[in-house]
Amino acid sequence: MLSPGIYIKLTSVAQEMTISTSSTLDSFKLRFSSVFPSSPPFNISSHATFSQSLLSNLLGSLSYFHGSSLISEPFPSETANSGPNFWEDAAKSRQHRLPQTAGPFELLTHVPSRSVFPRGFLRDEGFHLLLVVEWDLDLALEVVRSWLSLMDDDGWIAREQILGLESRVKVPKDFVVQYPDIASPPLLFWVVEKYIDMLSGKVKYKGHESAYLTGKDESEKLLEELYPLLKRHYNWFRKSQQGNLLTHTTLHDVYPMEAYRWRGRKPGTNYASGLDDYPRAEPPHITELHVDALCWVGVMAKTLAGVAKYSKNSEDLTSLQRQYKGIKQNIDTVHWSETEDAYYDARVAEGQHVFVSHKGYISLFPFITGFLDPDHPHLNSTLNLLRDPEELWSDYGIRSLSKKDSMYKSGDDYWTSPIWVNINYLIIKELLALAQMPGPYQQKCKEIYNELRDNVIRTTYSSWKDTGFAWEQYNDKTGAGQRTQGFTGWTALVVKIMAFPDLTVGGEFDEDVEDKVKELLKEMGKDGPLSTGTFLVGTVLCGFVYFFRRRFAALFREMRR
């Protein structure tokens, strides 16, 4: 039995913790409303609860990993990249090439799902940081530095970071070994681009105080560190994923060299692209040219040009602008099908340049990576593809593959019908940009933007309200969350979508009746079923992360130095 003195002390400590926790949560909510202010019709408390929960869970996934990695020796180029069945040759070669233990390495990163995917993914982290960079710029940049520190001398970064024996035990055998010819979508470049926009004043930053933004010496040192690494990775990608335009002899007016194909292709899969089972050429072919790979090189060139311009590096700026212009030219020359009004992958068949005709996310890549200006000749066709219910449009978001496609819902149905929030975020973001710029399709972009934004938010919110979880993807027929439960990685980008402005004119969306009732009950001081146990855990977690996040980042910075 506790003595009176100990009891009083424990009570006092509990009261202090309660006050401290309450104060921290209030501070979190206040800052959240400033950084991510929800726009109508989602600016009510139940939606604020939803978005705060997603952000807190994403921030709570910040992890530190340390250990060795298993890396294969590079394949001879003639084995990996040529021959009619090059994937079979590569598989045979792997049987005789023992992986090497490299490292130890260390990594600070957020993870897509703490329970299912507790490791670092290069592409995923880029999506994660598109949200984190606005909340805490310095934390996001420390994570970028951490990832870039894993780059080898050639410029390669392993797409998955499985560091240490404990991490390897949790990963399927086929994904443990990393291959230095395999690339990954370079989304970290977008984070750096955002940073440059903040430095130059193009974008207003509302997040936590930033030494990298306000300190001139800190920002200059950081750019001096990051730019050579980003440039090395860019050059590695262009060299390692180079496509062979010379085999496409029937093409005219193409810009030399600017065409790419993902290495590591197998029948039915293209893991390097991040769109695992999205239909590509079957069987795989060495003449393939992938439109998404070309677009990603364009993203890198644009980001590097922005850094070079800010740093007054005129020589690099001229070269990068020339390469970007060539990429933009080849997106239309190599990948646009005049007969089908869509962008596709391409290959050579019977001596002819032909398209791999599968309308879906791949067809949208020139759009979502910003290559379609307001007056671009292919913008209207792309918007029509987006909005067609028989193609990509659904009441719950943009599906990954057209309903008309023969591969729709085929195989594991991973990227062949479901709705993915990360891609929908990119679509909505670009629609918003075009809706705010004068052009012949400005009003059309605005209308699609409003409707799609509404659909995606309602889909993710409804599923969260029903289940208490964010999900890896959503069913295009029902809107139900599916695959990985508790996937608060890039699905958390719905927080950004909710903060995008409402562009409707002359009317309002109807708010959910249940939410109105809950708002009324709250005003009357009565309790309603406003939260779940899952939300309670998430809320406490967000307070913990909010309080300790800077100490964690600062500690890691000192460790790396």
Lowest mean pLDDT among 78-82, 129-133, 203-207, 333-337: 78-82
Q: What's the rounded Cα separation, in Å, for the pair 148 and 223? A: 13
Please tell me the predicted confidence (pLDDT) of residue 40.
Answer: 85
Please tell me the predicted confidence (pLDDT) of residue 8.
Answer: 76
Q: What's the rounded Cα separation, in Å, for the pair 433 and 442? A: 9
Please tell me the predicted confidence (pLDDT) of residue 86.
Answer: 87
State the CB neighbour count (10 A cutoff) for residue 21: 15
Please tell me the predicted confidence (pLDDT) of residue 129.
Answer: 98
* Structure-model confidence comparison of residues 429 and 173, the more confident one: 429
Please tell me the predicted confidence (pLDDT) of residue 377.
Answer: 98
The answer to whether the Cα torsion of 360, 364, 368, 369 is positive or negative is positive
Domain ranges of the chain: 34-55+359-501, 241-357
Q: Across-strand partners of 211?
A: none
Please tell me the predicted confidence (pLDDT) of residue 505.
Answer: 55
Return the HEC string of 476-521.
CCCCCEEEEECCCCHHHHHHHHHHCCCCCCCCCCCCCHHHHHHHHH
* Structure-model confidence comparison of residues 20 and 354, the more confident one: 354
Please tell me the predicted confidence (pLDDT) of residue 513.
Answer: 37
- Give the confidence band of 77 by pLDDT, cuts at 50, 70, 90: low
Q: What's the rounded Cα separation, in Å, for the pair 129 and 137? A: 9
134 touches 89 (CB < 8 A): no
Q: What's the rounded Cα separation, in Å, for the pair 533 and 539? A: 10
Task: Give pairs for 516-523: CB < 8 Å, separation 24+.
Answer: 518/45, 518/46, 519/44, 519/45, 519/46, 522/45
State the CB neighbour count (10 A cutoff) for residue 551: 9
User: Phi-psi region for residue 290, left (φ > 0), alpha (ψ -120 to 50) or beta?
Assistant: beta
Average pLDDT, the chain: 89
Distances (CA, A) of 175 to 119, 167, 415, 440: 12, 12, 19, 47
User: Is the model's pLDDT at 540 over the cut of 70?
Assistant: no
- Give the confidence band of 107 by pLDDT, cuts at 50, 70, 90: very high
User: Is the model's pLDDT at 146 over the cut of 50?
Assistant: yes
Q: What is the pTM of this model?
A: 0.88
Q: What's the rounded Cα separation, in Å, for the pair 556 and 561? A: 9
74 touches 122 (CB < 8 A): no
**In the predicted model, what is the mean pLDDT of residues 251-275?**
95
Q: What's the rounded Cα separation, in Å, for the pair 548 and 136? A: 12
Q: What's the rounded Cα separation, in Å, for the pair 301 and 296? A: 9
**In the predicted model, what is the mean pLDDT of residues 404-413?**
96
**Phi, psi for residue 121 in degrees, rounded to 5:** -120, 125
Q: What's the rounded Cα separation, in Å, for the pair 184 and 186? A: 6
- Tell how strand 471-474 and strand 397-398 pair up: unpaired
Residues 6+ apart with CB under 8 A from 498: 36, 38, 39, 42, 47, 51, 457
Please state, for a pLDDT cut of 90, what percent of the chain lies above it: 78
pLDDT tens digit string along 208-242? 999 999 999 999 999 999 999 999 999 999 999 99
- Give the confidence band of 89 by pLDDT, cuts at 50, 70, 90: confident
- Give the confidence band of 474 by pLDDT, cuts at 50, 70, 90: very high
User: Is the model's pLDDT at 122 over the cut of 80?
Assistant: yes
Please tell me the predicted confidence (pLDDT) of residue 9.
Answer: 72
Please tell me the predicted confidence (pLDDT) of residue 373.
Answer: 97
**In the predicted model, what is the mean pLDDT of residues 109-127?**
96
Please tell me the predicted confidence (pLDDT) of residue 90.
Answer: 83
Please tell me the predicted confidence (pLDDT) of residue 180.
Answer: 94
* Catalytic residue numbers, as ranges: 276, 472
- Give the confidence band of 96 by pLDDT, cuts at 50, 70, 90: confident
pLDDT tens digit string along 188-208? 999 999 999 999 999 999 999
Closest CA to 45 of 538, 530, 541: 530
User: Is the model's pLDDT at 518 over the cut of 70?
Assistant: no
**In the predicted model, what is the mean pLDDT of residues 309-314?**
97
188 touches 129 (CB < 8 A): yes
- Give the confidence band of 3 by pLDDT, cuts at 50, 70, 90: confident
User: Is the model's pLDDT at 551 over the cut of 80?
Assistant: no
- Give the confidence band of 410 by pLDDT, cuts at 50, 70, 90: very high
The vertex-445 CA angle with 444 and 449, nearest 5°, equals 120
Please state, for a pLDDT cut of 70, what percent of the chain lies above it: 88
Q: What's the rounded Cα separation, in Å, for the pair 458 and 514? A: 13
User: Is the model's pLDDT at 321 over the cut of 90?
Assistant: yes
Please tell me the predicted confidence (pLDDT) of residue 126.
Answer: 98
User: Is the model's pLDDT at 1 over the cut of 80?
Assistant: no
Please tell me the predicted confidence (pLDDT) of residue 520.
Answer: 39
- Read off the amino acid at residue 80: A
Q: What's the rounded Cα separation, in Å, for the pair 158 and 376? A: 36
* Structure-model confidence comparison of residues 519 and 207, the more confident one: 207
* CATH number, domain 34-55+359-501, options 3.30.450.60, 1.50.10.10, 3.20.20.70, 3.40.920.10: 1.50.10.10
User: Is the model's pLDDT at 556 over the cut of 70?
Assistant: no
pLDDT tens digit string along 19-63? 777 888 888 999 999 999 988 889 899 999 999 999 999 999 999
User: Is the model's pLDDT at 249 over the cut of 60?
Assistant: yes
